[in-house]
Amino acid sequence: MVDLQDAQNAKFQTLRLQRFYLAQLNYLITYVVICVAWVSGQYQGSVWLMLSHIGLGVSTQLVFLALFRSNWNLRLQDPSMTNAQIAVAILLITYLLAFAGPLRGSLIMIYANIMVFGIFQLSRRDFLIHSGLALACFGALITIEHYYQTDTRQFTLNLVEWFILACFLVGLSMTASYIRELRERLQQRHNTLQAHQETLRGMMGQLQNLATTDPLTGLANRRHFLQEARRRMTLMRPTQQMGIALIDLDHFKRINDLYGHAAGDQVLQGFAELARTTLRDDDLIARFGGEEFVLLLGNTSIETLHQCVERLRQRFAEKTFDVLPEGVYCTFSAGLSLLQPEDDLEVCLNDADQALYLAKNSGRNRSEWHDPSYA
């Protein structure tokens, strides 16, 4: 569970870094624009001023990179640091606009470009706050210029630009919150679909269980046994053989008649539990019907199969049941046969049934193996 959480965190951190690198591409483009403006003589400042934009941009971004790389951002409520990154970019672009001269009109739209960065992340409120910050910064710039008479452009033009910027930022805020809502709705639908998928998977599992399991004992049912036995036969090597044991509880009708059907059920469950704990995990045990069970042992000999069934038979014969009076024990008889890769499963089960018949006729509480000469 913790590993899953860690993997999720690492995935999100990678996404944050990818988004950060994408923002760096925009910074790079802006550096190029600054250089072009300076080379073309449109930049209103010295080379040192021009370089200060790039220096400030690079150093602030290095701080963000260090925060991401050291995972320090994970301590924050918003580890993507979107608000901080946008606020820094707005301040940097305002600083650039102060020296952009006649290019200011075209560069002003970088504010909108910065806001697009938060389109999937920010709430409408955050968007409006950042729009307000951009307008306040740009407003302060033109006011200061006007106050100190450093304005080389008309104040009215500046005001119109501010107004155009305000209109676009409001429009962008609306579009962004609409996109965000759409995204949230999609996310919700995705979550609902995932929940449905989980439920369906659970139901499929339950159906699969119902179709393959005997409800009383929890063992595989007859259908599943036959399917699984056939599947295992296809995986056998030519020299291998599997062992089959048909097991039938002795005089089980008496248990039902004397102690009740519920007691009979408990005996069946007790046998299933004992078989599960006595046999190996890869041995297949199934309830074949009524008080009859079947075992399938992989890659075995008649001796091993016999030993295995005898061990189970002895343990069952000694097993006590709460529902039965003291001194009352149950037994079973078993018929054994071997299954080769080329054999017919039905024929092999029939052989085991004949051996079981022999065991019953020979006094019960015993196991017999199929003798081909016996008919």
Ligand X SMILES: Nc1nc2c(ncn2[C@@H]2O[C@H](COP(=O)(O)OP(=O)(O)OP(=O)(O)O)[C@@H](O)[C@H]2O)c(=O)[nH]1
Residues assigned a catalytic role: 291
Cβ closer to ligand X: 110 or 249?
Answer: 249
Cα separation of 41 and 273, whole Å? 91
252 binds ligand X (CB under 6 A): yes
248 binds ligand X (CB under 6 A): yes
DSSP state at residue 369: E
Helix, coil or strand: residue 297: strand
Stretch that binds ligand X, among 95-103, 112-120, 235-243, 252-260 (CB under 6 A): 252-260
In the complex, least distance from residue 220 CB atom to ligand X, rounded to whole angstroms:
15
290 binds ligand X (CB under 6 A): yes
Q: Which amino acid is at 60?
A: T
276 binds ligand X (CB under 6 A): no
DSSP letters, 227-270, are HHHHHHHHT--TT--EEEEEEEETTHHHHHHHH-HHHHHHHHHH
264 binds ligand X (CB under 6 A): yes
Binding residue for ligand X, selected from 196, 201, 253, 311, defined by CB under 6 A? 253
Stretch that binds ligand X, among 162-170, 172-180, 246-254, 302-310 (CB under 6 A): 246-254
The residue sitting closest to ligand X, measured at its beta carbon, is: 264
Looking at residues 186 to 225 of the shown chain, list those that interact with ligand X (rule: CB under 6 A).
216
Residues 104, 95 contacting (CB under 8 angstroms): no
Which residue in this structure is represented by tokens 């929940």? 195
In the complex, least distance from residue 222 CB atom to ligand X, rounded to whole angstroms:
13
Cα separation of 116 and 94, whole Å? 17
Q: How many residues bind ligand X (CB under 6 A)?
A: 16
Binding residue for ligand X, selected from 113, 240, 256, 350, defined by CB under 6 A? 256
250 binds ligand X (CB under 6 A): yes
Between the alpha carbon of residue 229 and those of residues 216, 223, 326, 341, 348, the distances in Å are 22, 10, 39, 11, 11
Nearest Cα residue to 244 out of 107, 365, 169, 347: 347
Helix, coil or strand: residue 247: strand
Binding residue for ligand X, selected from 265, 269, 274, 345, defined by CB under 6 A? 265
Helix, coil or strand: residue 135: helix
Cα separation of 368 and 353, whole Å? 10
Cβ closer to ligand X: 238 or 363?
Answer: 363
In the complex, least distance from residue 259 CB atom to ligand X, rounded to whole angstroms:
10
Instruction: State the DSSP H helix or E strand holding residue 334, giving kind and residue range, or none if neither.
Output: strand 332-339
Reading the block at residue 104, the tokens are 């200011």
24 binds ligand X (CB under 6 A): no
Helix, coil or strand: residue 117: coil
* CB burial of residue 105 (10 Å; 0-12, 13-18, 19+): middle
Binding residue for ligand X, selected from 251, 276, 319, 366, defined by CB under 6 A? 251
In the complex, least distance from residue 214 CB atom to ligand X, rounded to whole angstroms:
9
In the complex, least distance from residue 370 CB atom to ligand X, rounded to whole angstroms:
18
360 binds ligand X (CB under 6 A): yes
Using CB under 6 A as the criterion, which residues of the chain lie in contact with ligand X when the complex forms? 216, 248-253, 256, 261, 264-265, 268, 290-291, 360, 364
